[in-house]
């Protein structure tokens, strides 16, 4: 496992959603090939789980932001109908 310096984020936390998603696809292809050793399979599964969790957090954050935008838009519309 790679260690990070104090104050430094793990590599997975620095990846964009797109990069993490692409890496998950690479991991899946490697696992599907059947060529990975047991140790490599375990390492790939662990990495894949971490990357999938990162992607899920990113998607949740985007969903929350979209929900907030919809609420702001609704409030603006409601305020517009009461003004006039």
- pTM, rounded to two decimals: 0.69
- φ, ψ for residue 50, nearest 5 deg: -60, -45
User: Domain boundaries in the chain?
Assistant: 14-83
CA distance 55 to 16: 9
Q: At 51, list the tokens.
A: 């990357």
pLDDT digit string, tens, across residues 34-73: 999 999 999 999 999 999 999 999 999 999 998 888 888 8
Q: What is residue 24's three-state secondary structure?
A: helix
């Amino acid at each position: 496992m790679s260690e990070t310096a104090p104050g430094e984020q793990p590599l997975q936390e620095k990846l964009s959603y797109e990069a993490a998603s692409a890496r998950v696809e690479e991991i899946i292809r490697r696992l599907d090939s059947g060529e990975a050793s047991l140790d490599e399979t375990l390492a790939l599964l662990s990495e894949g789980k971490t990357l999938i969790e990162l992607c899920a957090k990113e998607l949740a954050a985007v969903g929350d932001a979209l929900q907030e935008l919809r609420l702001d838009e609704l409030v603006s519309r409601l305020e517009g109908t009461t003004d006039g």
